[in-house]
Structure 1
Amino acid sequence: MKVYGIMLFLGLIFVFNGCSTDNTHEKNDMVSGTWSLINVSGGFAGIDVDFEKGKIVWKFNAKVGSLIVANNDGSNAIYNGLPTGTYTYSILQEKDQYYLQINDKEIGGIVVDKSHLVLDQNKTSIGSGADGFVMVLAR
Structure 2
Amino acid sequence: MKKTALLLLLLPSIWMTACSDDDNSNVNDPQAAEGQWKLVNVSGSIAGTSHDFAPGTITWTFDEDANTVTVVNNNTNENAEDFFASGTYDFHFEANQNTPDMCAQSLFIENLELGCQTETATQLVLSQTWADGYQLTFVK
* TM-score normalised by the chain length of structure 1: 0.67
> What secondary structure sits across from 1:107 in the alignment?
strand
- Partner residue of 2:39 out of 31, 37, 47: 37
What are structure 1's unaligned runs of at least 5 residues? 1-22, 123-127
4+ residue stretches of structure 1 with deviation over 6 A?
none
Query: Which moved further from structure 2: 107-116 or 95-104?
Result: 95-104
**Distance in structure 2 (CA, Å) of the matches to 1:105 and 1:73:** 20
Q: Which amino acid aligns with 2:115?
A: G
* Number of residue-to-residue matches in the alignment: 108
Give the structure 1 partner of residue 76 of structure 2.
Answer: 74
Richer in strand (by share): 1
**Distance in structure 2 (CA, Å) of the matches to 1:112 and 1:91:** 15
Q: In the superposition, relative to structure 1, how do residues 45 and 100 fare at CA in structure 2: closer, same or farther (>3 Å)?
A: same
**Distance in structure 2 (CA, Å) of the matches to 1:119 and 1:27:** 13
Give the structure 1 partner of residue 131 of structure 2.
Answer: 129
* TM-score normalised by the chain length of structure 2: 0.67
8 Å CA contact 1:34, 1:60 repeated in 2? yes
Q: Map Cα deviations across residues 77-96 of structure 1 (whole Å, 9 max, x no partner).
A: 33112221111112345595
Give the structure 2 partner of residue 49 of structure 1.
Answer: 51
**Distance in structure 2 (CA, Å) of the matches to 1:100 and 1:43:** 17
Matched, 1:84 2:86: yes
What are structure 2's unaligned runs of at least 5 residues? 1-25
Residues 84-123 of structure 1 correspond to what in structure 2 (within 5 A)? 84-92=86-94, 97-122=104-129
Q: Which amino acid aligns with 2:30?
A: K
> What secondary structure sits across from 1:27 in the alignment?
coil
Q: In the superposition, relative to structure 1, how do residues 58 and 93 fare at CA in structure 2: closer, same or farther (>3 Å)?
A: same
Q: Give how far 1:106 is off.
A: 2.7
| Max Rg structure | 2
8 Å CA contact 1:39, 1:135 repeated in 2? yes
**Distance in structure 2 (CA, Å) of the matches to 1:45 and 1:78:** 13
